[in-house]
Amino acid sequence: MRTNRLKHPNMNATVRLRARDGREVRVRHMRRDDAELLERLFYRLSPETRYRRFFVPLTNVDETLVQREAARLASIDPERETALIALIDEDGREEAVAVARYARLAEHEDTCEASIVIRDDFQGVGIGRQLFDLLVQVALANGVKHMSLLTHADNSGMIALVQGLGMPYKGHFAAGLYEIDLQLSEAHAPVFPFTTSP
């Protein structure tokens, strides 16, 4: 049974996050017209970051495939998915520097799969942890109890990010990957950063 679902999230509401080096980003819910931002973000990711996020080497990718995948990822089903996009103003236009998302599992309504990707020049400055914490807050507010993440076993940054949330989790190593079951604790009362009325 779904509980505490956010019926009408404010898609235009923004939350500001500040990196440890003083840079500021704006975070909001992803919209369908963000596909172009996702395309440009993809091309700003290093080969290593692409590999850590998508689990396959993505060099010399067909431009049409990138456009199609960006359009798919920008099309959010609000009943099952949430995607938060972190934005800055750069060279006279808006650019994406990070995306955190989750999608509910069809067979387990209180469980979701989650992921995060951060542009290389914004890694290691605290934006990822803050953005992922916002994603967890949205998941909690939407009644999600378990968040499943899959990462490379040597991805110490992602593992530290999960540990830093202060929520219980279980981890399982297999074939060079680390599967994490983050247990969203009801002891952590959800906040409503993207709604005008909880």
Q: How confident is the model at residue 187 (pLDDT cuts 50, 70, 90)?
A: low
pLDDT digits (tens, 9 = 90+) for 35-49: 999 999 988 988 888
State which residues form the domain around 103: 15-183
Rounded mean pLDDT, 2-11: 45
Find the angle CA(22)-CA(28)-CA(34) to the nearest 5 degrees.
110
pLDDT over 50 (residue 8):
no
Q: Is 43 among the domain residues?
A: yes
Q: Is 71 among the domain residues?
A: yes
pLDDT digits (tens, 9 = 90+) for 109-165: 789 999 999 999 999 899 999 999 999 989 988 889 999 888 877 778 888 888 888
pTM for the model stands at: 0.84
Q: Is 30 among the domain residues?
A: yes
Q: Distances from the Cα of 26 to the Cαs of 45, 110, 194, in angstroms?
A: 19, 28, 12
pLDDT digits (tens, 9 = 90+) for 56-71: 566 677 788 888 989 9
Q: Is 76 among the domain residues?
A: yes
pLDDT score for 56: 58
CATH code, 97: 3.40.630.30
Q: Is 121 among the domain residues?
A: yes
Q: Is 145 among the domain residues?
A: yes
DSSP character string of 148-161 = EEEEETT-HHHHHH
CB 117 within 8 A of CB 53: yes
Beta strands in 21-157 (DSSP E): 24-29, 81-90, 93-105, 108-118, 146-152
Residues 6+ apart with CB under 8 A from 60: none
DSSP character string of 2-16 = --S--SS--TT--EE
Tell me phi and psi for residue 177, to 5 degrees. Answer: -115, 160
Q: In what order do the strands lie in the sheet with 177-183?
A: 15-18, 24-29, 81-90, 93-105, 108-118, 146-152, 177-183, 169-174
Residue 74, token pair as written in the block: 């920008």
With pLDDT > 90 as the criterion, what percentage of the chain qualifies?
A: 42
Total structural domains in the chain? 1
